[in-house]
Amino acid sequence: MIVRTLLRAAGLLLGLVVLMQVITVERDNPPITGTIVTPPAVTSVLRRSCFDCHSNETVWPWYSRVAPVSWLVAHDVHEGREHLNFSEWRPLARETKQRRLGDIIEVLREGEMPPGIYTPLHPEARLSMEEVAALQNWATTALAAELDEVAVPAAPGVPPSH
């Protein structure tokens, strides 16, 4: 009796998983419009730890083909790109770059990225303390440079004050 019930439940579950496969998700990589330019050491860390969800160069893993995991992976990638896309960086407005750099500094400080759901299957994406520091240094310098560029220039004829 119990065995038959269990078998029936397992069959139902299997049927459900098979049915789920009908709902596919888009595993896309849209065109690259301007990849961010950073010092090589920073680029390699960003590519290793962030690009799967924050670029148009996502390496879609095999398990991203299997529902319901595929739904979660696609959701993370599409939402990640909406918040920050290193492949569409250069055409961004300066104010947007400033905001994004501020966000990067914040998530690094909080240790929020890469997300904890991702690192068990992608241990190579984990950041060492030195790498976090390197990214923070870069983001802080880049933010200062973006802020500098919008600073109001001194009136002509007025000598610089420093």
Binding mask 63-92 for ligand HEC (x = CB under 6 A): -------------x--xx--xx--------
CA distances from 39 to 10, 120, 139, 143 (A): 53, 28, 11, 14
Number of residues that make up the chain: 162
Residue 52 makes contact with ligand HEC by CB under 6 A:
yes
Residue 53 makes contact with ligand HEC by CB under 6 A:
yes
Amino acid at 73: V
The rounded radius of gyration (Å) of the Cα atoms in the chain is 22
Three-state DSSP at 144 gives helix
Nearest CB to ligand HEC, comparing residues 8 and 126: 126
**Least distance from ligand HEC to the Cβ atom of residue 30, Å:** 16
Residue 143 makes contact with ligand HEC by CB under 6 A:
no
Question: Cα dihedral sign for 64, 70, 72, 74?
Answer: positive
Question: Which residues make up the interface to ligand HEC (CB under 6 A)?
Answer: 49-50, 52-54, 76, 79-80, 83-84, 103-104, 107, 113-115, 118, 125, 127
